Amino acid sequence: MKFVKKITRKIPTLTMNPFSLGDVLFRKDKRIETFLALDQDKRVDLLRSVTTGVKKDILKRIPESDFVSILQTIDPDEATDMLQLVSKMKREKVLNDLSAELKDSLSILLAFDPETAAGLMTLDYIQVDESETIEGVAEKFKHHEKKTGRPPVIIVLENNKLNGFLPGHVLGIARRTEKINSYIKHMQSISYAAKHKDVLNLFQSHPHTKVAVLNDSDEVVGIIYSDDMLQLIEKEQGSSLYNFAGIKQEESVTDTAKNKVRNRYRWLIINLGTAFLAAFTVSLFSNTLDKYVLLAIYMPIVAGMGGNAATQTLAVQVRGISLRQIDLSNAWMSLRNELGAGLVNGVINGIIVFSVVMVVNHDFKIAMVLGLAMIINLLVASTFGTLVPLIMKRLGKDPATSATIFITTATDILGFLAFLGLATIVLG
């Protein structure tokens, strides 16, 4: 029942001793022993709470009988997700020990690509004709609920094609002899082969609690609920956060040091290369720095403020891109607004740093150089933070992952050029 799943899947009610939970997460040698010591409800809650890697390890190593018991207490779509984490051999052994009905449901769901709409759907529905009576539909409803333990969505067909759905509460308020056609509600539908982003876009543009999944013959093969979209959105948000940090999406807190190194070293090497570019830029002004050592003290302020401002702009742009609110064709308005914000913020921060240098160092020229460099670098941050993610998107790259390095490089190098270049001109 999806309404039950909304409660049990969103807020796991784990009350494990924290040391036991630590054994499950970080002590692989004690993980299975600790897991099997839990009662059934806590086992299910734990599997919903841990990372995919830990879940996969648990399901791979527990006895088939325990795996079967877990699958029999959860929804078929959630059971399908768990079965997809284990080997084909173990999957077949577990399926053979399930009831014939559950086995059939899971076999249908396992046949679909998990990255498509079909991978999100559930089979908790019944199909009725628009000409049927409330009494006839109620009998089918009761039969499905008795058989599965979950109330179904009532899909209404017209000439064997989707017409809409019948709200469940109608069965309790309408006369049993009434036809259902006057109670039918519209229902959105989507192809079973649609990608997850297309499903998200459908729910965002047409807010509904559920959507029908159709096959190539426009026959209903499943239902997707809005709570599945919440989980998918949470997954996408986590992916974006990992992308910003330059970490592979599958990495988790429980990974070994070896896995963490393998996931991160390429990003760090690229950043090291850009750091050398920034260092080379600074080296071009070594004579100026030799004469005015005070400049070296304030250099990190220019680079740091530019990087922070660019990250703010980038976050807004990536969100706009993901919601399809902006692309290169309408980027000018966004760029104009970001440049305006960058200019104002640059002036505000420029005045602050100018005042600090005057109070602390009593050096008007260096204070002026630092204030102007602050304004220039925040304008650079606004420009690159706006345009680079849009360009990366046009080139088919993930803007969250690919744009960060270019923007940081621009604010570092151009920030240093502005600061030290102005210093050379004004102080030279």
In a domain, 13, yes or no: yes
Regarding whether 89 and 47 lie in a shared domain, the answer is yes
Torsion of CA 55, 61, 65, 67, to 10 degrees: 10
Residues 263 and 393 in one domain: yes
Structure tokens at 28: 């692989």
Are residue 316 and residue 338 in the same domain, yes or no? yes
In this structure, the answer to whether residues 311 and 353 fall within a common structural domain is yes
* Residues contacting residue 125 through CB under 8 Å, at least 6 positions apart: 152, 153, 154, 155, 220, 222, 223
In a domain, 313, yes or no: yes
Quick one: average pLDDT of 283-287? 88
Q: Which of 85, 111, 137 is the last residue of a domain?
A: 111
Domain presence at residue 12? yes
Q: How far is CA 423 from CA 53, 166, 259, 305, 364, in A?
A: 53, 74, 45, 18, 12
What string of H, E and C letters represents the secondary structure of 16-59?
CCHHHHHHHHHCHHHHHHHHHCCCHHHHHHHHHHCCHHHHHHHH
CA distance to 6, 49, 256, 278, 406, per residue, from 60 (Å): 26, 17, 18, 48, 42
Residues 209 and 127 in one domain: yes
Q: Are residues 320 and 413 in the same domain?
A: yes
Per-residue pLDDT at 347:
95
pLDDT at 366: 92
Decide which of 91, 111, 131 is a domain's last residue.
111
Residue 155 has a pLDDT of: 93
Q: What is the H or E stretch that residue 161 is in? A: strand 161-166
Domain presence at residue 239: no
Q: Flag whether pLDDT at 309 surpasses 60.
A: yes
User: 85 φ, ψ to 5°?
Assistant: -90, -10
- Residue 230 CA, chain-centre distance (Å), reads 10
State whether residue 139 is helix, strand or coil. Answer: helix
Taking alpha carbons only, the member of 377, 412, 399, 143 closest to residue 278 is 412
CATH code for the domain in which residue 155 is found: 3.10.580.10
Evaluate whether residue 248 is within a structural domain. Answer: no
157 and 22 share a domain? no
126 shares its domain with 153: yes
User: CATH code at 78?
Assistant: 1.25.60.10
Give the residue from 32, 36, 97 showing the smallest Cα distance to 64.
97
> Has residue 307 been placed in a domain?
yes
Among 65, 90, 111, where does a domain finish? 111
Mark whether 271 and 189 lie in a shared domain.
Answer: no
The percent of residues above 70 in pLDDT, for the chain, comes to: 84
Q: Determine how many CB atoms are found less than 10 A away from the CB of residue 349.
A: 19
Q: 29 is in which domain, residue-wise?
A: 2-111
On whether residue 241 sits in a domain, the answer given is no
Q: What is the pLDDT of residue 2?
A: 38
Same-domain pairing of 275 and 418: yes
pLDDT in tens, 336-382: 999 999 999 999 999 999 999 999 999 999 999 999 999 999 999 99
The predicted-structure confidence for 34-46, as pLDDT tens digits, reads as follows 888 888 888 888 8
Q: What is the mean pLDDT of residues 138-165?
A: 88
What are the φ and ψ backbone dihedral angles of 351, each rounded to 5 degrees?
-65, -40
CA dist 315 and 404 (Å) reads 10
CB 404 within 8 A of CB 314: yes
Per-residue pLDDT, averaged over 58-65, amounts to: 91
Tell me which residue has tokens 């290369």. 273
Q: Which CATH number covers residue 274?
A: 1.10.357.20
Count of the separate structural domains present in the chain: 3
Q: Are residues 269 and 383 both part of a single domain?
A: yes
The β-bridge relationship of strands 210-214 and 220-225 is antiparallel
One domain, residues 312 and 352: yes
CB burial of residue 77 (10 Å; 0-12, 13-18, 19+): buried
